[in-house]
Structure 1
């Protein structure tokens, strides 16, 4: 069975206040072309379909359009909700539209309810694990802790139990929206830290023939059978040098599998450049960047007057302007101190700074409990 794995569309997203709906539609048109040219038999979308829980109407129209086009092609679509999506909104009428081959998995109750497709080698069971906010779902699974590891392990136990009831030789594909240990992140993903540990080991997905992951925006391989497709467009300058792609996955008989990376079109090219205002405006060295979408860092000793306005006369797609660290020591120093740290670590550091003494174990646990309560309440609001 030939499967096209994509994720993290983030329909309705902006890049430094620039709307990307036209570029997102261009990607979806490319996806449809790929489905037809490569004779794809199933499309899987591993979450973050929309960029926020209540998407703009234009994004909803684009979503409606792609569902109709795939239904017209009679190519099954299996899609899960991500941490940016509202599960209830994305999953509305999901049982009804299954008759059109559109299979939405947004409810925790459906983790072990597979979509069964057939090919010449027999059945393939697709299991969709939507983003599982630990604080909201750990009781449902009977997990001992409200952690990503605990709830995903429990969900996969249900998947394996269901798979054991299927005919011998049934192959399995699992869709999940999670941060798997060892993967590379970028600046455009929302933090999903819970219980102090945002990641889960790849061993959680043992026995699945293929795991289609979403959440991280870089296309990457955790193992031959566990992969992230990444986002189809660059949503931050940290992704400037990483090609955007989808995975074409062929499941053969038994455990046979082959994969191929399919590059996505590049509707805009992100670049980061540094120089003085005079050089940027006058030097031929920067001519190649006039059509690029830019993050510009000015190296002038003083901040030039109306710098961005002047730069945009030559570089109409200049999106972000920065200055060297000596011009903004407080902001850059703080950014470097907190980079890569969890919310819990940041708040503990602040408490230490204010009081002058490290937090006790009881204080650490109380702070963690408060952070998890805030996160869970926010997730519950977005889910509704």
Structure 2
């Protein structure tokens, strides 16, 4: 059996305001061509099909057309929801679509129910695990409210199912942050404070583990891999080799895994230097047609730098200013200070900065709950008050809630994290 492992399409996403829909359509066409050329039996997509819980009409149309192309090319298509998807919306009519060769799994209650397919060597059991948000899935799975606990409970159901399928080879897909994976700037945090990471050992005994969520194509073990996103969504991915994995299963399990390169709509370039260097030096010439991020290091801000740079780099998308400092004691800018820090640290640090004392344990807990509320609200539209009820066991007094929140819940709608990304 030949399996094409993909994930993190993020249909409807833009790149620094550049519409990527045509590039996403080209990528789905590319996958259909790979299905035909390589005689692929199954296309497995491990979550984050859409970029947001309420996708635009164009993104929905593209998914409808794209899935039809893949099925028409001769493959069974297995899709699961990610943390960016609305499980309810993506899973609509999923049982009816299975008869057409399209298997969409979004319900935590079905994690132990395989998609059973066969080749000349017998059955292959696919378990497409949707993203399991602990606050929403723990009760369904009878687990504690943590990422590791809900995935462990899901895998217990998978293993129980496999015991009744003697001789079946197993493929699990999961949308999760597995320890050892390399992150980029474009992934949304799964939990506040790094608590969303889970050990690879949770998935022991599976023939192939198809992972989604991290946007770099990478290998955690011979049988466990991230396909990464097919397109770059941040300049931190400038060195990524985008694509998918072509997995060959034989009677004894995985016989081989080959990388499949994805089409690149335009290269990325991260450039740095004084304005005069960037405008004149030949060494920057190969990057003139790239989507560019430029960091200017001039001691003083030049006049109209964007206008000047775009004469040479017409696809300049992001301009940063980081003046060279002559003394080691000169204070760094705010952006530099918070770069790479977890969201909870940024919020607690800001609270300390504006009032002159550190956050108390109760205040830290409230900030953590608010960040978790924003994560879940962006995924499923869960109201802040509903999430507060889910976390009611936290010992925080009404007086502290009133003092910190002033009777207000976080605003509904678009959220942005500490690095300015959409939540």
Same fold (TM over 0.5): yes
Structure 1 unmatched ranges of 5 or more: none
Check conservation: 1:7, 1:231, Cα contact below 8 A.
yes
The TM-score, its normalising length taken from structure 2, stands at 0.84
Alignment partners' CA distance in 1, 2:138 and 2:360: 27
Structure 2 unmatched ranges of 5 or more: 384-423
Cα distance, 1:346 vs structure 2: 3.2
Q: Tell whether 2:45 aligns with 1:45.
A: yes
Q: Bigger relative contact order, structure 1 or 2, given CA contacts below 8 A and separation 6+? A: 1
Q: Tell whether 2:6 aligns with 1:9.
A: no
Pairs within 5 Å for 1:112-131: 112-131=112-131
Alignment partners' CA distance in 1, 2:332 and 2:230: 30
The aligned counterpart of 2:151 is: 152
Call closer, same or farther: CA 1:372–1:313 in 2, change over 3 Å.
Answer: closer
Check conservation: 1:136, 1:376, Cα contact below 8 A.
no
Give the aligned length. 380
Call closer, same or farther: CA 1:85–1:332 in 2, change over 3 Å.
Answer: farther
The aligned counterpart of 1:70 is: 70
Q: Tell whether 2:166 aligns with 1:164.
A: no
Cα distance, 1:363 vs structure 2: 5.0
Q: Tell whether 2:27 aligns with 1:27.
A: yes
Alignment partners' CA distance in 2, 1:289 and 1:70: 35
Call closer, same or farther: CA 1:78–1:291 in 2, change over 3 Å.
Answer: same
Call closer, same or farther: CA 1:7–1:301 in 2, change over 3 Å.
Answer: same
Check conservation: 2:271, 2:293, Cα contact below 8 A.
yes
Check conservation: 2:294, 2:320, Cα contact below 8 A.
yes
Alignment partners' CA distance in 2, 1:352 and 1:53: 34
Deviations 1:137-181 (A, max 9, x none): 11111112x111111111111111111111x11011111100000
Cα distance, 1:108 vs structure 2: 1.2
Alignment partners' CA distance in 2, 1:367 and 1:21: 36
Pairs within 5 Å for 1:127-206: 127-144=127-144, 146-166=145-165, 168-194=166-192, 197-206=195-204
Alignment partners' CA distance in 2, 1:68 and 1:353: 54
Alignment partners' CA distance in 2, 1:266 and 1:349: 39
Pairs within 5 Å for 1:74-85: 74-85=74-85
Alignment partners' CA distance in 1, 2:85 and 2:330: 35
Call closer, same or farther: CA 1:92–1:286 in 2, change over 3 Å.
Answer: same
Q: Which of 244, 247, 251 pairs up with 2:245?
A: 247
Q: Tell whether 2:219 aligns with 1:221.
A: yes
The aligned counterpart of 1:236 is: 234
The TM-score, its normalising length taken from structure 1, stands at 0.92
Q: Tell whether 2:285 aligns with 1:287.
A: yes
Secondary structure of the structure 1 residue equivalent to 2:148: helix
Secondary structure of the structure 2 residue equivalent to 1:127: strand
Q: Tell whether 2:273 aligns with 1:275.
A: yes
Deviations 1:315-338 (A, max 9, x none): 1111111111569x9996433443
Alignment partners' CA distance in 2, 1:109 and 1:258: 32
Cα distance, 1:196 vs structure 2: 5.2
Secondary structure of the structure 2 residue equivalent to 1:109: helix
Pairs within 5 Å for 1:295-310: 295-310=293-308
Q: Which of 309, 312, 315 pairs up with 1:317?
A: 315
Check conservation: 1:86, 1:382, Cα contact below 8 A.
no
Cα distance, 1:305 vs structure 2: 2.4
Pairs within 5 Å for 1:330-341: 333-341=333-341
Secondary structure of the structure 2 residue equivalent to 1:55: coil
Alignment partners' CA distance in 2, 1:337 and 1:46: 34
Cα distance, 1:301 vs structure 2: 2.8
Check conservation: 2:47, 2:212, Cα contact below 8 A.
yes
Call closer, same or farther: CA 1:124–1:293 in 2, change over 3 Å.
Answer: same
Secondary structure of the structure 2 residue equivalent to 1:203: helix
Secondary structure of the structure 2 residue equivalent to 1:233: coil
Alignment partners' CA distance in 2, 1:218 and 1:130: 20
